[in-house]
Amino acid sequence: MDAADVEGDLVDILFTEAEIQAKLGEMARQIEVDYEGKDLLVVGVLRGAVMVMADLSRALTRHVEMDWMAVSSYGSGTKSSGVVRILKDLDTDISGRHVLIIDEIIDSGLTLSWLTSNLASRNPASVEIGTLLRKPEAMKTEMDVKYVGWDIPNEFVVGYGLDYQERYRNLRDIGTLSPHVYS
């Protein structure tokens, strides 16, 4: 879906599909350097990270193993509840593995902080985080994020996996959702 298909629902476009692909390529190059010679397991956080995970993985020029987790802390609202539930756990034993969690956005940071602690308790060699977007103003917890595409303002954004009530995920760009849609 193109931005023109939902033009009245967006305040503006923050990042185009081409800009997103270029940024993911940059992130992939750094990941390759950092994990040279290491057995890397990339863990996508469903559902939002599907687009990021797919395109980031394709940008890598090395073999990479993938697994998925589904966690929830949002419900149908626009703010994180802070209560995390595992809806789908990993299928892979991560003991001794280098794990890179990939998410599409870090908002409050509460969900990823919890998820990082949960995975660290499973005896991996390392656990790091990569995200396409981060909202520094919305962060409610300190956390080390190794790979960040862009820091953005604390606004409600959709597209490229980001949704509002399961809509807009298939938008090719990332844009700011107009308040009239969710008010």
pLDDT tier, 73 (very low <50, low <70, confident <90, very high otherwise): confident
Q: Identify the pLDDT of residue 83.
A: 75
- For 105, the 3-state DSSP assignment is strand
pLDDT tier, 77 (very low <50, low <70, confident <90, very high otherwise): low
107 is catalytic: yes
- Residues 49 and 55: their CA atoms lie apart, in Å, by 10
**Structural element, H or E, at residue 180:** helix 179-182
User: Which residues pair with residue 7 across a beta bridge?
Assistant: none
Instruction: Please state the rounded mean pLDDT for residues 7-16.
Output: 94
Share of the chain above pLDDT 90, in %: 85
Q: Identify the pLDDT of residue 163.
A: 94
Q: Identify the pLDDT of residue 97.
A: 97
User: Does domain 3-71+83-181 match CATH 3.40.50.2020?
Assistant: yes
Residue 134 and residue 108 in contact, taking contact as beta carbons nearer than 8 Å: no
- Residues 12 and 2: their CA atoms lie apart, in Å, by 13
Share of the chain above pLDDT 70, in %: 95
Mean pLDDT, the chain, whole residue set? 93
User: Which residues pair with residue 102 across a beta bridge?
Assistant: 44, 130
- Residue 81 confidence (pLDDT) above 60: no
Q: How confident is the model over 27-52, as pLDDT tens digits?
A: 999 999 999 999 999 999 998 999 99
The model scores a pTM over 0.85: yes
Tell me which of 9, 55, 103, 107 is the catalytic residue. 107
pLDDT tier, 180 (very low <50, low <70, confident <90, very high otherwise): very high
Q: Identify the pLDDT of residue 84.
A: 83
Sheet holding 126-134, edge to edge: 85-88, 65-72, 40-46, 98-106, 126-134, 147-151
- Give first-to-last CA distance, the chain, whole Å: 23
Greatest mean pLDDT among 71-80, 123-132, 134-143? 123-132
